[in-house]
Structure 1
Amino acid sequence: MDRSSSITKKTDGDENERNIVITAEQEDANNNDAGSIEKTFEGTEVPPWQKQLTLRAFVVSFVLGILFTFIVMKLNLTTGIIPSLNVSAGLLGFFFVKTWSKFLEKSGLLKQPFTRQENTVIQTCVVATSGIAFSGGFGSYLFGMSEVIAKQSTEANDSQNVKNPSLSWMIGFLFVVSFLGLFSVVPLRKIMIIDFKLIYPSGTATAHLINSFHTPQGAKLAKKQVRTLGKFFSFSFVWAFFQWFFTATESCGFNNFPTFGLKAYDNRFYFDFSATYVGVGMICPYLINVSLLIGSVLSWGIMWPLIKERKGDWYSSELKSDSLHGLQGYKVFIAIAMILGDGLYNFIKVLAHTLYGLYNQFQEKNKRPDLSQSSNTPALSYDDKKRTQLFLKDQIPTWIAVSSYIAIAVISSATLPHIFRPLKWYYIIVIYIFAPALAFCNAYGCGLTDWSLASTYGKLAIFVIGAWAGGSHGGVLAGLAACGVMMNIVSTASDLTQDFKTGYMTLASPRSMFVSQIIGTAMGCVISPCVFWLFYKAFPDIGLSGSQYKAPYALVYRNMAILGVEGFSALPDHCLTLCYVFFIAAVVINGVRDAVGVKWARFIPLPMAMAIPFYLGGYFTIDMCVGSLILFVWEKIDKAKADAFGPAVASGLICGDGIWALPNSVLALAGVKAPICMKFLSRKDNARVDAFLGS
């Protein structure tokens, strides 16, 4: 495997942003015939696009899609931090089909060899399927509509602003909104990939990974990586099963272990033995984990204890702990202020990058005729010639994309008002008029910076449509539904162009990429609601503060909608002032990070990451810092091995603990409870319990 690519991740919770750095050496190798990737595969025939879409590819994609949907759903409903799973999808897809092919080859039934194009189809389909678990809003806007979340706020919790989850309408909603983004950017695929030559770092890194799997050396390393992933998958699953035996009631078990003492535990500082977040910590860059830790200390270590002392002065002492008019209000709205500040800054930054990039592209295009005869014009490399030839070979007719977009938009405009009464048909038409331009901006910005700002566009829709509808006409529900429409369009648009880049570099046909994305999206529209429904039915306390699956961003998104409709009347004393301070601080910190350059920016925390523990607490940040520490020590001992096997270890930890959610849900639905409660008491409380039991 080519280890010159360095894969990192910048997670901001609900934004699922990726930051993949590709070194200059790798780019040089890509443009130099001596280091040509395609010459390595010169003797291998590229199958036509129909043969790239095999039955075994979609069977494997379906199985892996369910696995990754469980993982993403669990992450959605616990902390909202979702790492990039592209590497795991590509690796497991390679392993399953390679094993299948070997079995058929021995039995003499193998009709078609396993190619990198088929591997790309699997990776695309799996990521499209599990991506719906994020863009579908099961941990944010969609669950934020429910009565469970609405009851945690005293504003806008009437029936016209509430819609409880139901399997039928969730599947219907996703089917009418999830495909528009795909058709909106299809006509622009040549401009993005061939004309503008956008990097799409995630797509490029994934392509290098898949290409390397199908070389003899890469295949050997992939086998070892899969073996490592399997070991830690098994360990993580067994560990989660073992932990379950000690969780008879809500506050029992290893996940309530007061690692740093009971006082720290009361302020949510403890290690909860979660293999998932240890794995996430190994994938996320050190800066993300340190930023989370700083946010935890700032909020739960300093601010909340100080504000708690103002109880009875800043807010009523008679309020419940989860009231948004009390301490909970400061936690939620200050976190929202930082998220909005960071989101606004990055939106303007990426938009400026996009406009500047487009300006440069058109300037170069205007100059190109004058330079066409120049001997100084750089010639295309062997790789680029072959990739461009095959990329342009299988065209997707523009008229199909445009007519499909219009047809789905008409169906959607007629259907959505029946699902969400406050969301009028003319709101939807306005969204669909502007959506292609926003989808292009997101896809182009993602190609330049690798940042998908899908949730930022969704938040914009919350405020615009919510304010347009008004509080007395179900503005909160309308805003949340509009957020879902917008998020699905811009998210799938950037995902598809990313996949086109991967397909371009692995010689996978654009048609096979597009069909794979459509099939994966369709599978996700059914699988994701079913998985969420399983969680929803299995765990009665889902969405409640303090529960195992608290869905923190559901409350955050709902309160954004309330803020957009009702204004600032819901905030407790001095909360608005603190919100202004932290909003400005988020903008300033981001500005300073960009001003000082890459060398010093790695020492300045990320505001979005700092905001996540404001509401949740520091327990998961401890897990992630443990993951960082493991990787750091491993790199010091053997950097080459850590680089090669670190992602496999992390993926195994995440996958094993994530898939435990399935048997755990089944046990909960069957009414089977853990037999033991492991609980920790202070010496004083223990003496009182002993005295009570002795009497």
Structure 2
Amino acid sequence: MSITRWLRSLGPNHGHLSAAQPEFTLTAVFIGLAIGCLICFTNLSLGLQSGWISMMSIQSALIGFLISRMLPTPLSPQELIVVQTTAVATGTMPLAAGFVGILPALGLLSEERDGTPPIHLTWWSAVGWSCAVAFFGVFLSPPLRKQVIIEEELPFPSGTATAQLISVLHQLPPPDTVRHRRGYREVDHEESEDVGEAIAEVPAQEEQTAEEDTERDIVQHEGWYDLAWSFGSAGALTLFAYFFPAVFTIPLFGTYLAKEWLWYFTPSLSYVGQGIIMGFPTTLSMNLGMFVGWAVLSPLSKLAGWAPGPVGDMSNGARGWILWVALGIMCTDSLVSLFPVVGEFVIDIIKPLRQRYTRIGEDGPVKRSHEDETEDRLVPYSWVVSGLLASIVVGTILVWVVFGHEGIKPWATVIGFIFGGLLSVIGVRALGETDLNPVSGLGKVSQLLFAWLQPGNIVANIIAGGVAEAGAQQAGDLMQDLKTGHLCHASPRAQFYGQLIGSSVSIIVTTTAFTLYNRAYQIPGPSFPAPTAYVWLGLARLLRDGQLPENSALFMAGFSLFFGVLSGIKTKASRRQLSYAQWIPSGVAFAIGFLNTPSFSIARLIGGIIEYVYRTRYAKQDGGRGNDIRLVVVASGFVLGEGVVSIISLLLKTFGVGVLSCWGCGHGMCGGCPTVS
């Protein structure tokens, strides 16, 4: 992640955060829930718009720290970790429970084509579905923590970056993060180092301390100001665009291209903020995909007669045609990037785990325990086993109640949970090594399995994929938080409580928000196209009948082959930490450029360019990295500002308050305005 580069460059420090500090407190939980609810609304809105969400762990820690400065007793570092853990668990439910993909896909079913009518869940049914998948990943995280964080010592870059940020803000360095990486040799603490090297390191340490002081001062003295103006600017622009929709549909390339080919520009500050968070290389990949998909393949399919319908039609238009090419790219890229992780996973199962020792005793080697937490701070395994069994049993019953026996068989749901658990292990390992959780690829692997277990049942195929994705998504996001807690000596049990509370509250918040959006808007529709819903449904239909639009199979195969090779090169370069790896186009980001209209990608590219220029030029003008933190705060304000005001827009839409003027909507693409011929 681009915003963590400056954190990763801080380097290791020795020391410990005091374990005597307060940890799990009502204040920390309430602040975490408040931040998490804002992130939840933001992620739901952005996910339905573009298929992209963010766990926002660093942003949660920053905002939590700013809020704590206003309290009579500021939060301790460990309380701040509970804040960001609770916020992440609350904010990522839109993706974990499938509200941005699975549920919209079920609403696209056609009785004529799929043999079942569209499935639109009621509020109670959506709550039941969310409860079915909300806790499996939470109970799976403690044993995964012991394996990938304690034993294998995987880096989890975002979790490590968050720990470094918290240590800087509280003037307390985390434990040595370099030694806690797989592949580094264990060093005896009593070993003496070369005196000359120790003396040479003193200036560098003093310079690093000065930079940390600068970063901390910027957050404390200018953080609220930067957050306030960025939040207010994004919110004001969003509210203005609600009443004057033409503001967000500017025909930058001409009215003809906007009306006929969907080339217009949305100057959303939230999209700009997302681009800053995603970084220039990712936004560049997305825009390369946007250009190839919408400037090359879309006109080609339309003019050649392969997609005769309107360009934006997902059934027989160019947008539906290029969807299949995007699907091939996403599947290939995700699966190829999994191969090294799967290989290591298999090797670890076959080959005995490497033994690590601290001393040799008279009776032979003595194994050293890597766990540095006491039993009263860990999650008891009796809780884990009971929770996993209850999650599977209760989850299977709830899925059967919500979707019925014809939707997915109970035995198939049980297999879905078990298979999802196995895929979660793979996903967590991939996340720990690369900072990327390939949940989309894991969901598609589950779809492939259930195309064989329950052939022809599209509903079962989509639901099974959703169960697998939920486990992998939750386990991965929570593992980043547990890595942060491990480095900062926070109680895993306190974090576990925060995860349970955050997930529980988010069920109600996400379900209510999704229900309101469904009442006020057409989903999928012009305002919320829910692009990933078409990916889920498209793959399920392809696995059932194998029919593709005319000539799309050739392009699908060609692009899949190209990005399969490219993904292999990128994966190898990334695992070797080669500098050019970030500039190799990402297949998933490239495919997202296909799924979204150009308006979504262009604004994100602007954010990516701002991030790159600011980081490489302006942030270093003062001789250090101190001002980088301001860009993180501003990007957070942009994203959260539009997300919060979208709640106001939703309420206005629900109560029948419409737009004030449709002036400038002659291309007919403005949400909220009647189509103008």
* TM bin (shorter chain): 0.7 to 0.9
1:120-519 to 2 correspondences below 5 Å: 120-146=81-107, 149-150=108-109, 155-156=113-114, 158-159=116-117, 162-215=118-171, 217=213, 219-223=216-220, 224-247=222-245, 253-265=246-258, 266-311=260-305, 314=306, 317=308, 322=313, 324-355=315-346, 362=352, 364-365=354-355, 368=356, 372=360, 389-390=372-373, 394-421=377-404, 422-471=407-456, 475-519=457-501
Deviation for aligned residue 1:320: 8.9
Contact kept, 8 Å, 1:204 with 1:501, in 2: the verdict is yes
Deviation digits for residues 293-331 of structure 1 (CA, Å, limit 9, x no counterpart): 1111111111211221112xx45x478962524534312
Q: Which amino acid aligns with 1:242?
A: F
Q: Name the SS of the counterpart of 2:114 in structure 1.
A: coil
Mean Cα displacement is larger for which, 668-677 or 397-406?
397-406
Q: Is the 8 A contact 1:20 1:202 kept in 2?
A: no
Q: Which residue of 1 aligns with 2:185?
A: none
Q: Is the 1:443–1:493 Cα contact (8 Å) retained in structure 2? A: yes
Superposed displacement of residue 69, structure 1: 0.8
Offset of 1:668 from its aligned partner? 0.4
Deviation at 1:592, TM superposition (A): 3.2
* Matched residue, 1:71: 42
Counterparts of 1:186 and 1:626, CA distance in 2: 40
Partner of 2:181: none
* Contact preservation (8 Å) 1:20, 1:201: no
Q: What is the DSSP-based 3-state SS (H/G/I as helix, E as strand, rest coil) of the residue aligned with 1:210? A: helix
State the match for 1:687 in structure 2.
none
Aligned-residue RMSD, C-alpha: 2.8
Alignment-mate amino acid for residue 542 of structure 2: L
| CA-CA distance at 1:456 after TM superposition | 2.0
- CA–CA distance in 2 between the matches of 1:215 and 1:642? 18
Percent of pairs identical after alignment?
Answer: 25
Distance 2:360 2:419 in 1: 36
Corresponding residue number in structure 2 for 1:108: none
Change (3 A) 1:543 1:398: same
Q: Is the 8 A contact 2:60 2:84 kept in 1?
A: yes
Q: Is the 8 A contact 2:40 2:91 kept in 1?
A: yes
Matches of residues 517-666 of structure 1 in structure 2 within 5 Å?
Answer: 517-539=499-521, 541-544=522-525, 547-566=526-545, 568-569=546-547, 571-594=548-571, 598-635=578-615, 636-639=617-620, 640=625, 642-666=627-651
- 2: CA distance, partners of 1:229 / 1:488: 32
Distance 1:549 1:418, change over 3 A: same
Q: Tell me if structure 2 keeps the 8 A contact 1:634–1:642.
A: no
Pick closer, same or farther for the CA change 1:657–1:399 going to 2, 3 Å.
Answer: same
- The CA deviation string for residues 62-92 of structure 1, in whole angstroms up to 9 with x for no partner, is 2212211111011111111224411111111
Q: CA deviation at 1:345?
A: 0.9
| Alignment match, 1:691 | none
| Cα pair 1:89 1:123 within 8 Å, conserved | yes
What are the Cα deviations for residues 101-135 of structure 1, in whole angstroms up to 9, with x where unaligned?
23xx6xxxxxxx52111110010000001111111
Q: Give the drift of 1:518.
A: 0.7
Q: Residue 93 of structure 2 aligns to a residue in which SS? A: helix
| TM-score for both structures, normalised by structure 2 | 0.84
Distance 1:192 1:270, change over 3 A: same
Cα pair 1:391 1:509 within 8 Å, conserved: no
Cα deviation 1:197-238 (Å, max 9, x = unaligned): 222211111111122222294653322223211211011111
**Distance in 1 of aligned mates of 2:580 and 2:148:** 32
Instruction: Rate the CA distance shift 1:120–1:482 in 2: closer, same or farther, 3 A.
Output: same
Question: CA distance change for structure 1 residues 494 and 630 in 2, over 3 Å: closer, same or farther?
Answer: closer
Residue in 2 that maps onto 1:33: none
- Partner SS for 2:528: coil
Instruction: Give the equivalent residue in structure 1 for 2:59.
Output: 88
In 2, Cα distance between equivalents of 1:586 and 1:309: 26
Find the counterpart in structure 1 of residue 194 from structure 2: none
How many residue pairs end up in the alignment?
611
Letter in 1 for 2:279: P
Task: Name the CA shift for 1:618/1:642 in 2 (closer, same or farther; >3 Å).
Answer: farther
C-alpha contact (below 8 Å) 1:91/1:226 kept by paired residues: no
Between the aligned partners of 2:470 and 2:33, the Cα distance in structure 1 is 21
8 A contact 2:309–2:318 mirrored in 1: no
**1:355–1:83 distance in 2 versus 1, CA, 3 Å:** same
Q: Please say if residues 58 and 122 of structure 1, whose CA atoms lie closer than 8 Å, have aligned partners that are also in contact.
A: yes
| TM-score for the superposition, normalised by structure 1 | 0.82
Give distance in 2, aligned partners of 1:676 and 1:439.
49
Rounded Cα–Cα distance in structure 2 between residues aligned with 1:163 and 1:638: 50
Contact 1:22 1:201 in 2 (8 A): no
1:294 and 1:398, CA in 2 relative to 1: closer, same or farther beyond 3 A?
same
Matched AA of 1:364: R
Q: Distance in 1 between matches of 2:309 and 2:631?
A: 50
Note closer, same or farther for the CA distance 1:184–1:244 as it changes in structure 2 (3 Å cut).
closer
**Stretches of 4+ aligned residues off by more than 6 angstroms:** 19-22, 357-360
Taking structure 1 as reference, are residues 226 and 323 closer, same or farther at Cα in structure 2, changes over 3 Å only? closer
1:46 equivalenced with 2:3 (yes/no):
no
Contact 1:350 1:449 in 2 (8 A): no
Alpha carbons 2:7, 2:164 under 8 Å: kept: no
8 Å CA contact 1:200, 1:450 repeated in 2: yes
Question: Which amino acid is 2:658 matched to?
Answer: K
Shift of 1:584: 1.2
**Aligned in 2, Cα 1:22/1:338: closer, same or farther, shift over 3 Å?**
same
How far apart are 1:342 and its partner, in Å?
Answer: 0.9
After TM superposition, give the deviation of residue 392 of structure 1 in Å. Answer: 5.3
